[in-house]
Each structure stands twice: as structure tokens, then as C-alpha cells.
Structure 1
Amino acid sequence: MNGFRVLVQKEWRENTRNFKVLWIPIVFIILGMLEPVTNHFLPEIMKSVGNLPEGAEFAWPELKGEDIFLSLLGQYQLIGILVIILAFMGTISGERKNGTATLLYVRPMSFRNYFLSKWIVVNGIVLGSLWLGFMGAWYYIEILYNHVDALPVFAFIATYSLWLVFVVTVVLVLSAWLPTGGVAGLAILITLIYPIIDSLIGAYWTVSPWKLSIYASYWFNPDSELSGLWMSIYLTVILIVLLILFGIFMSKRNAAKTTV
């Protein structure tokens, strides 16, 4: 346990030194605050700079607070996941390449603790950033739009949080398995491109981790059928556990590839 605590502290210090604990939350918070503000003032902005013909009017849709949450989720689905991939794709493979891992591997160390320490710290940074971003958005939604009840908001964010835990797990497992360049390409394929494919042909199945971002929106509709959501949550948790075990195995197996 002491060795695990030391590894967690090491990961936290490393992410503090490279400012990931600072700039990643800032990115999520800025996106969260801009989404409701931009959508609220966009009609006025377009009237001012849109160069519309005199007398022309454009019927802007009436957005509710729930719509802003879903719009922000779309931003996190693209920009947020790209930030996660680019920030953490070299978490393990980078240490092997630059030889930093040699300082750890020469000591009596559990690869389970090694992988889990990274998994815990990275998820802490990502989930903390996500919740801060949504809380910033919620603040402006309450001011500029309508009141949104806390229970569906928290359920919505928690469901999407599980999806991001899955994304983080995929990125770290790929980092334990592949070189950094391969991590980036395959992680983008799995977390950004495949969800698009799933949305096009996914009508044939209802249970998938890639549907969590869609199912998260169901919490704002009390009449939604949630059976597919719960089954997807169970499946995602099982896949996360299996991926962690595979990541631990690959971390140990590829330790010999570390640059000396």
C-alpha cells in the first residue's frame, strides 16, 4: 500500500509540473462557460455583424437549459476527448521511450500499482475538469435560461463521466501496449470515429459504451426508457475492468522495451 501511495504521489507531482492539473480544467471550464453565453447572445451578435438584408429576420430556436447541456456535451465529445488523448497518450509509452521508466522498473514494483496509480490520477484530473466545466455551464444556464433540477443534471453528468472513464482507460491501455504515435491514431479511431459509425448503424443494438453519451441525455426526459442505459453502464464497467487487467499485463510485458 505504501508503494502504491508513493506512485500516486509521483503521478500527481508529474502532472502538476507539466501543468496538466491546471490547463485541462481551464479548457473544460472555458468551454462550459462559453456554451450558454454564446448561445444566449448569438442572435444579437448575428444581427450586429450578420449583414442581413434590411427587414430580413431569422427565426432562432428557443433553447432551454437542457438543450445547452446537450450542446456542451457535443463540445466535450470532440474537443474534450481530443484534449484527453493528446494530453495522456504518452503516459506510459512516453516513459518507455525517454527512459524515465527505467528508474521505476529497476526497483521492486508492482505493475498493478504502476498502472492503477496512473489510471486514478488521470481520471481524477479528467473528471474534476468535466464536473467543473458542467458546473460553470449550469451557473450561467440558471442566470440566462431556465431552472434545471439538480437530480437529472447530476445523473446526466455522472453517466457521461463513466464514458470519459472508459475513454481514459482506453488511452492508458493503448499507451501501455503501443508506441505513442499508434496510441493517438487508434484512440481517435475508438473514441471519436467509431461513435459516429455507431450512431449510423447502432439502431440494431441498444447496449454499448459508445451510446452512453446519447443515453446521458435521457435523464432530461422523464418518459425515456432507461433499460438500455443500465445495461450499457454494466457493460462499460465490465469492459473497464477487463481493459485495466490488459493494461497491467501490457505494462509488464513491454517493460523490456524501455530505452536505457
Structure 2
Amino acid sequence: MNNFTVLAKKEFVQMVREFKVIWLPLVFIFLGLTQPVVSYYLPSILKALGGGQGITIDPSMAAQKGGEVLASTLGSQFDQLGVMIIIVSMMGVVQSDKANGMLAFILTRPVTVVSYISGKVISNYLFVACSVVLGYLVSYLYVILLFTRVDFVDLLVALLFYLMWILFIVSFTTMISTIFNSQGIIALISIVFLLGCRIVVGLSPIIDNVNPASMSKHAMEVLILGTVNTDVIWSVISTIVLSALTILVTNIWISKKKFNNE
């Protein structure tokens, strides 16, 4: 446990040195406020600029319910640009340690691979989750200011569902960062796969039950409909299992490569 604490502190120190503790939360704050502000003011902006000629604007856009706008924040902002930003911020989480010899140095000490990986995944997940929560709360504040209120229980349940999707994003990116040596390749594979998972959501109930990205869909449904789909239990189980599987693959890959002997 002491090794885990030291490694987790190392991760947070690295985040401070890279100014990640500043720019990542700011990015999600910006994404969080963008959706409600644009949804509310876009018709007025187009009208004021005279750019609405030939464009049909839905008059109900500014009359949306708060839950619908908050769900759009998750689906249109966090699940697109937000996912890519998370991947870019994490693409070197293990790769950089391999490149500069830090991984080999750490594993020559009395540190287990499990402690190393858990320190990476947990510290990065907590930080990314806090950034997402911050952006989510900012979006909620703008939603209740410009639209209607969202039930607090729905707000919390949707957030918990969405954070499970974030857990898979973090664990998967960590695995890819372990396997490949080029940050460009890591980013490309992670972005294509994770956004691909999000794109296929809704195509088939069977796929949704084993697709971690469906947790985002369930979060949006809670905000829009105020109910929890009974199929969510399968999505929860599959997300936990697949996240654990990515961490297991990361552990096996590092153990087999024997970086401590390089």
C-alpha cells in the first residue's frame, strides 16, 4: 500500500509539472458551459447577425427541458471533444516512462507491477473524473439558470453512469499506452476505438449490453426520461469486466516484457 501511495503521489506531481491540473479542468468547464449557452442564445445570435436567412430555426430550441440540455452536454461535448482531450492527456501515461527508462528504474525497486499499474490508473481516473464532474456541475448551473431544473437524483445517477464510461476510457488508454511506443499511434488507436464504441451505441441492444459506451447513453436517458433502463445492469457488468480486463492485459504485458531486466 505504501508503494501505491508513493506512485500515486508521483503521478499527481507529474500532473502539476505538466500543468494538467490547470488546463484539463478548464477544458471541461468550457465544454460544460458551451452546450447550454449555445442552445439558449444561438437563435438570437443568428437573428442579430442576419445570418438566419434561408435557415430554419426550431423555436423550441430555447424552450428545451434542463435534462435534455444536460444530456446534450454529455453526448455532444464530453463524448466527442472531451473523449479526445482525455486521450491526448493520457497517451503518454506509461509510454513516457518506457521511453525515459523510468519504468525499468521503478521495477528494479521493491515495487510490484500491480502497484505500478494501480497507481497509474487510479490517480489518473480520479483526476479525470474530478475534471468531468467539474464541467458537469458548471453545465448544470447554466442549465438551471437558462432552462429548467433537473431532479437531483437523476443528476447524480446520470453522473455515476457516465463516470463508469470514463473508467473504461482511462483503463483502455493506459493499456494502449503500455503496448505501443509512439504517442501518435496510441492517440490514433484510442480515439478511433473509443469514438467507434460511442458511434455504434443504439445500433443493437445486444451490442449495447457489452459496449462500455452505452453507459453514456444510459446517463442521457436518465436525464431526459427520468427513468433507468432495466438493461443497464448488463452494461454495468460488462463495463466493469472490460475495464478489469484492460488492466489485466496491461499487467501481463509489463510482466512479460520484463522491463526490470532491460
TM-score between the two structures when normalised by the length of structure 2: 0.90
Mapped pair 1:178 → 2:180:
yes
Identity %: 27
Q: What SS does structure 2 have at the residue aligned with 1:87? A: helix
Amino acid at match of 2:3: G
* Change in 2 beyond 3 A, CA 1:115/1:72: same
Q: What SS does structure 2 have at the residue aligned with 1:91? A: coil
* Change in 2 beyond 3 A, CA 1:155/1:168: same
Contact kept in structure 1, 2:8 and 2:120, CA below 8 Å? yes
Q: In structure 2, list runs of 5 or more residues that go unmatched.
A: none
* Change in 2 beyond 3 A, CA 1:76/1:222: closer
Mapped pair 1:210 → 2:209:
no
Contact kept in structure 2, 1:65 and 1:141, CA below 8 Å? yes
- Measured in 1, the distance between the counterparts of 2:106 and 2:259 equals 12
Instruction: Tell me how large the CA RMSD over aligned residues is.
Output: 2.3
Amino acid at match of 1:108: P
Q: After the TM superposition, which residues 184-223 of structure 1 pair with which residues of structure 2 at under 5 Å, given as runs?
A: 184-199=187-202, 201-208=203-210, 209-220=212-223
Judge which range, 96-105 or 108-117, deviates more.
Answer: 96-105
Q: CA deviation at 1:235?
A: 1.4
Residue by residue, what CA displacement relative to the aligned partner does 1:95-147 show, whole Å, maximum 9, x if unpaired?
11122323313222111000000101110111001110010011111111111
Pairs aligned (count): 257
Q: What SS does structure 1 have at the residue aligned with 2:209? A: coil
Partner of 2:128: 126
Contact kept in structure 2, 1:218 and 1:224, CA below 8 Å? yes
Amino acid at match of 1:96: K
Contact kept in structure 1, 2:121 and 2:170, CA below 8 Å? yes
Mapped pair 1:38 → 2:38:
yes
- Measured in 2, the distance between the counterparts of 1:9 and 1:31 equals 28
Mapped pair 1:71 → 2:72:
yes
Q: After the TM superposition, which residues 76-87 of structure 1 pair with which residues of structure 2 at under 5 Å, given as runs?
A: 76-87=78-89
Mapped pair 1:88 → 2:105:
no
Contact kept in structure 1, 2:71 and 2:223, CA below 8 Å? no
* Change in 2 beyond 3 A, CA 1:52/1:68: closer
Q: In structure 1, list runs of 5 or more residues that go unmatched.
A: none
Q: CA deviation at 1:22?
A: 1.4
Q: CA deviation at 1:225?
A: 6.1
Q: CA deviation at 1:255?
A: 4.4
* Change in 2 beyond 3 A, CA 1:238/1:31: same
- Measured in 1, the distance between the counterparts of 2:97 and 2:149 equals 47
- Measured in 1, the distance between the counterparts of 2:97 and 2:132 equals 26
